[in-house]
Structure 1
Amino acid sequence: MVKRTLPRLYMVSNSPERPYPAQELPALVRQLTAQLPAIVQIREKHLDAKTLYEMTLLVKSLMHDSNSLLFLNERFDITLATGADGTHFPENSTPLGKVHAAAPDMLLGKSTHSLQSALSAEAEGADYLIFGPVFDTPLKKRYGSPMGLEKLEKVSRNVSIPVYAIGGITPANTRQCLDHGAYGIAALSIFHISENLSVTLENFKNVLDQ
């Protein structure tokens, strides 16, 4: 299988810290992927397997004609069942080698919070990493201080796979992340709380296309 080029914008659809109505996701994905390519990670941990399966199929159908990719959070069984593009795993989750053995063609990503975990994830066969939180963000305050740009750069320069910066990401600080080695940026809140999503996406596009 030839690995697809990864989009540089990454949207995480939900989190336990900031739940939002699941019915908003299809409209959000439709607007996002019509405006620019992105990875969309469905992270609806509160949904049962049947509902998550049905939502994945719906979202996948909305992305059919775009250059975007659809990932599930941890549920590689639903990734396989729906024909989604890949699965993303938390730092302390299933070893990626086990997943590769069961699904050798699946794209796999992993969250990392240190250089050591980034190197381990790359060795396991990750296709990309998400590193952070880079900047201060209310959703991650309980986990301590942000990692900062220097740690982002250290990770990005020491692995050979794409690294997405996450945590407090906005169009205004995206350029800083790219200048410190990030391949792209990942975010959650800004897609859901923005009063003018179209403008936000255009601002992201202007920076990521430079």
Structure 2
Amino acid sequence: MLPRPVIQLVTDHTRLGPRGSSAALDALVDCVTAAANAGVDLVQVREPALSDRALFELVQRLVARTRPRCRILVNERFDVALAGRAAGVHLRASSLAASRVRRAAPRGFLIGRSVHTTAEIDGACRDGAVDYLVFGTVFESASKSSADPTTGTVGLADAVRAATVPVLAIGGITADHVPLVAGTGAAGVAAIGWLTDAVGRGSLAAELSAARRAFR
């Protein structure tokens, strides 16, 4: 079961230092630990630039530092999630069916999936094995190309109505956007910049408290 609302931090160690550097990875571990202490529910480890070994070691460190306060999920890499004793995996929209992962996963393993269209939502829900969906891009995002279409809150509300599982909004999410997201019926938000930067400001706990109030 997922809490309501769900707050998910999506990682990007390159925001904290040079790509692949030990300094950036150490800073990410500290950032995620602080986020867990502040009340973030899920952390999606999305680090495509890392080698298999570096990703595995990072996941191990994050699990050790944050369990049981929050749940660590690994983007796409089911094998690394299992080996690193993560709480789950987050699949891309184009990835294998979640039901295939579910058959090999331990009890209680969390499976999320990224979706961008009604067709992808329908396919994921019909498959019947996902615990939640992350839908976007809702607002303009610095981590996405400016050419990528945004759905706004109208598209997000349509996604929520089409889904049979909780839907989190992603894409350009800031503290100011949270009330707009809450108004669509979404189950929560996923963010990179807002949550990472709030840790740096030392304001994440207060911002999360305000975000949760917006969903009431």
**What TM-score do you get using the length of structure 2 for normalisation?**
0.86
Change (3 A) 1:192 1:203: closer
Find the partner of 1:169 among 160, 167, 173: 173
The residue matched to 2:143 in structure 1 has which SS? helix
Quote the sequence identity (%). Answer: 27
1:191–1:197 Cα contact (<8 Å) kept: no
**What TM-score do you get using the length of structure 1 for normalisation?**
0.89
The residue matched to 2:196 in structure 1 has which SS? helix
1:122 correspondence with 2:125: yes
1:205 is displaced (CA, Å) by 2.2
**Superposed, which structure 2 residues align to 1:82-161 within 5 Å?**
82-103=84-105, 105=107, 106-124=109-127, 125-161=129-165
Alpha-carbon deviations, 1:5-55, whole Å to 9, x = none? 476110000288x68422211110111111113200111111112221111
The separation in 2 between residues aligned to 1:4 and 1:153, in whole angstroms, is: 20
1:207 is displaced (CA, Å) by 2.2
1:64 is displaced (CA, Å) by 2.0
Amino acid at match of 2:124: A
2:31–2:199 Cα contact (<8 Å) kept: no
The separation in 1 between residues aligned to 2:65 and 2:4, in whole angstroms, is: 18
The residue matched to 1:98 in structure 2 has which SS? helix
1:51 correspondence with 2:54: yes
Consecutive unaligned residues of structure 1, counting only runs of 5 or more, are none
The residue matched to 2:34 in structure 1 has which SS? helix
Output the aligned Cα RMSD: 2.1
1:165 is displaced (CA, Å) by 0.3
Q: How many pairs are equivalent?
A: 206
The separation in 1 between residues aligned to 2:184 and 2:5, in whole angstroms, is: 18
1:134–1:147 Cα contact (<8 Å) kept: yes
Q: Which moved more, 1:45-54 or 1:98-107?
A: 98-107
**Superposed, which structure 2 residues align to 1:54-73 within 5 Å?**
54-66=57-69, 68-73=70-75
Consecutive unaligned residues of structure 2, counting only runs of 5 or more, are 18-23
The residue matched to 1:140 in structure 2 has which SS? coil
1:7–1:39 Cα contact (<8 Å) kept: no
